[in-house]
Amino acid sequence: MKRLIVLIVLLVIVNNIDAYAQELPVPESVGNQHPRIFGQDMSLDEVKKIVENEKWASQIIDKTKNRLAKYVDFYEKDPTWLVSRLQMYWKTKSTQVYINGGKYDHADGEAPVPTVKFIGGRGTPSDYKRPKLEDVKPFMDDPRGLYLQNKTTDAWEWAAISATSATTASINREILSIARDAAFLYWYQGDKKYADLAYHVLDTYLKGIYYLNEPIDLSHGHHQTLVSYTQFEVIQEHVLNEVTQCYDFLHNYINTSHPDNLKMYDATLQKWADLIIKNGVSFNNWNLLQAAHISNIALVLENNDQYENGMGGPYYLDLVMNQTSTRQWSMKKLMDYGYDYNTGLWNESPGYSMNVLNDFIHFAEFYDRNFNIDLIKELPVLRKAVIAAPEYLYPNKFQVAFGDGHYGHLRSEPIKYLIENAQKYNKPEDELYFTKMLKTIYDENEFNGEFVGRNISDLFIHNGFKVKAEIKSGKLSDFTSPLFYAPNTSWLVQRQGEDEKDALMISQIASFGNHMHSNGIAMELYGKGLPLAPEMGHGSNYFSIEYAEYYTQFPAHNTVIVNGKSKYPEMKSNHAFNVLGMYPKSQNKEGNLKGYTFSDVSFLEPETNSSQRRVMGIVKNDVGGFYIDVFRSKQKENKDVKHEYFFHNLGQQLNLTNNDNKPLILKSTSSLAFGDGDLMAYDYMWDKASVETSQDFKGQFSLKMEDRTVNMNLWFKGENNREIFSVMSPKSTAFRHGPLPEELNDNPIPTLIVKQNGEAWSRPFVAIYEPAENGDTAIETVDYFGTGENVGIRIVEKSGEENLVFSSTSDEDELSINDFSVRGTYGVITHKNNDFTLFLGKGKSIANATYTLEVKGTSASASLKNQNNQWRFFTATNTYLKIKVDHKIKKAVLIDASGKEYVGKYEGKSKTVIFDLPALSFQTIKIVLN
């Protein structure tokens, strides 16, 4: 029996290993016919039929012919006209390019034919205009560089290659796109003049790549691991789109007229693919962009058995899908590294995450189109990632913008392909879900119209994208969660409300993953249709000074800075926060108390060795609601000089007053400066004014727009040794195409800074924020109670509803006011007349004069709500519900939503009924006391 058990266990282990190591399917053949790059069913007859029947298709043919007309005319007069504009080492025929970091240095060596010229700089701006082809000097290869027009003076002059950015590649790609169009028209109508034009360009270019060596970085730095034959980054070899398409459409012509060249062309493409595999970055979207270039090459190569080295199309597809090298990981390894299989989120900032998802889906669609292989089935995390994508959305359907992000719309391509995939592979539930998602997030006019193609590739899409009319849209909350936490990006979001204008949302971020910033525990706040407390984006570009000194640093974020020095590596960062408590559970969409969320996160600020802890919550009401923010910060070795709380908010102005509505008198100051030993980022702020005060204060940010003024009202608890600053900060570059009116995108950002001299742990930063419009507020008064690490906030609304917020650093500390108390790290008691809500975010107990919730064992969440004599209850673990009564109770019964009864016990000494209850999801209950 023991041997049998051991055998079974071994079989299970082996099966699990096999399942984990299972390779993704790779086609044995990429096909035997050309062209095939837009799918195996590239039928000339089918395309002609579409052109005959569809106006848009005939327009593509006409547009392509018109574009080529002048170049065909040039070619007939001078066959070298177009090819001579290629940026080549025409005279020197250099084989070895040298770079120095991100700049071109020089080239040497000599090939038997002209070789392709390298670009000037990596992402660097140029003072020169990119010329029209007619203005490019033919056969331009001069030691002075390129002959270009100066942007400032409009004068034509010789510019060093290193000063011309990507001009050479841009010119070459345009010429290759002309050749591609000509190759297509040759395939489409068989006119040899198009083939001759295309061949002359393609032959020159491919031979010019064949004789190039891998560039050498003279600085012996990171750039050596990124470089390709014509670009500083292998991912920028987008010209491969035009090269492979041109080669594919022209293949039969070459095979007939110039067959001896095929071997060299294929060898060129193989060495190009090999270099893209050798260099690059494996752990982010680079891997996918590289895979896309390699796959384009694979599609136009022949099958493995056609080459002595066996390196045909299937070979390269297998490298992409299943093999791992230092800088080109397999699809499975990349997904295992980047995706959280529980949340479906990729470990980069939102825009990059969505680009990666789009690239994965594009690759799945490419695989499906060419080989009828369903990668969504093979890689189920892709489906999970599309489901998770709406979690990035604010109620206005724009994405959050942490890290190197910007406020933009979710990309629709992944959702559309999941619908197409469901239609093709008979997945009716997926078709329903993703169609509903698409219609909820996007205007139906964007996808429900008749298919209209615009590019040559569209001619090979025989059926346009269609969705079922009978499937209706839903609510955004159908696809988002009240609380969503993604550990692999250290991002946590809280949401309450459905309406775009009145919904509330907090986005909190640390720095874990790629394209992240040095920002501690940062946050964005949403209100009245806008990300009112925004992220700042990445400045003008990643290589700019302001990116390094300001946009990626603490002062550009809504966070707390210690001693003016808080900082750690940005971009690829490994500084996450630790979640100490949250409500509701992440991704839990049903069975939650509405109107209340909270999070409690801690963070080690490494530069100053400081402990930070931020508690944030939403309290939502019928007309809007407000945010709670309690930020504690202290240096671990008691070397606290100062802690500064930064809050940026959209607007043209910030008005600050005391509790009596009298303006705070701020005076101009030169503080907050690099000259004081602070971060360089402090010098990017201007119009600095401050006042020293220990008083509580209020404020209002005002953003005046054409149709309304949007405000963020705030209340801030005072403390000793405080200085309040109002400053202006640089614009948020996260705004590009909405949601702000375009004329406001470049506005500077009013910023509140609260400086606490000494520690800010027993004197934490305590703020209440309320989005509003036109100077209005639903809050009547705000005052505070509690001492030290125990913070209490009393918020009275104009409706008469009172909200008591309790926050402590320990679950054991009890904080009370009048008949209300909480023992825990966060709780809210809301009451008006006989209606009340006891919400314990995390803790041991919460109570009003009559009702007490007492959690048994470990701290947990619990709530009791009475509204219009309808009772609702929730607890995450075993909990006592205690009810004080004024007379003896003979029978006490609590009935849950399923009808199950729980009998309470009456204690005469304390005149209390006690129910011992198990964990129950949020539900309606009945309480019977006789």
SS3 454: coil
Give me the mean pLDDT over the 230-252 stretch: 97
Q: Name the pLDDT band for 736 (thresholds 50, 70, 90).
A: confident
Segment 522-558, tens digit of pLDDT? 999 999 999 999 999 999 888 899 999 999 999 999 9
CA-CA distance, 249 to 38, in Å (whole number)?
11
Please state, in angstroms and rounded to a whole number, the distance separating the CA atoms of residues 921 and 497: 20
Q: What is the residue-averaged pLDDT of the chain?
A: 94
What is the arithmetic mean of pLDDT over 740-746? 94
Helices (DSSP H) in 88-222: which residue ranges? 167-189, 192-210
Question: Rounded to whole angstroms, how far apart are CA atoms 12 and 5?
Answer: 11
d(CA 98, CA 109): 11
- What is the 3-state composition of the chain as percent helix, strand, coil, each rounded to the nearest 5? 30, 30, 40
Would you call 153 exposed, middle or buried from its count of C-beta atoms within 10 A (0-12, 13-18, 19+)?
Answer: exposed
Question: What's the pLDDT score for residue 133?
Answer: 97
Note the pLDDT of residue 9. 37
pLDDT tens across 13-68, in order? 334 333 334 699 999 999 999 999 998 878 999 999 999 999 999 999 999 999 99
CA nearest to 887, candidates 864, 913, 865: 913
What's the Rg (C-alpha) of the chain? 32
- DSSP secondary structure string, 377-423? HH-THHHHHHHHGGGGB-TTSBBP-TTT----BPPSHHHHHHHHHHH
796-813 mean pLDDT = 95
| Opening angle at CA 173, ends 170 and 177, nearest 5 | 140
Average pLDDT over every residue of 633-653:
97
What pLDDT, on the 0 to 100 scale, is given for residue 462?
62
Kindly report the number of other CB atoms within 10 A of residue 141's CB atom: 17
Q: What is the pLDDT of residues 766-783, one digit of tens each?
A: 999 999 999 999 999 999
The token pair at 176 is: 């290759």
CATH for the stretch 481-768: 2.70.98.70
Torsion of CA 815, 821, 826, 829, to 10 degrees: -140
Read off the pLDDT of residues 858-867 as tens digits, 9 standing for 90 and up: 999 999 999 9
List, for residues 405-420, the tens digit of each pLDDT value.
999 999 999 999 999 9
Percent of the chain with pLDDT over 90: 91
Of the CA atoms within 13 Å of residue 516, those in its CB half-sphere come to: 28
Q: Indicate whether 113 pLDDT > 80.
A: yes
Nearest Cα neighbor of 353 from 334, 339, 336, 367 is: 339
pLDDT per position as a tens digit, 510-532 = 999 999 999 999 999 999 999 99
What's the number of CA atoms in the CB half-sphere (13 Å) around residue 319? 28
Are 807 and 580 in contact by the 8 Å Cβ rule? The answer is no
Identify the burial level of 13 via C-beta atoms within 10 angstroms of its C-beta, where 0-12 means exposed, 13-18 middle and 19 or more buried.
exposed
Over range 226-255, report the average pLDDT.
97
The pLDDT of residue 5: 41
pLDDT at 453: 83
Q: How far apart are CA 166 and CA 164, in angstroms?
A: 6
Provide the pLDDT for residue 306: 96
3-class SS at 460?
helix
Residue 573 pLDDT greater than 50, yes or no: yes
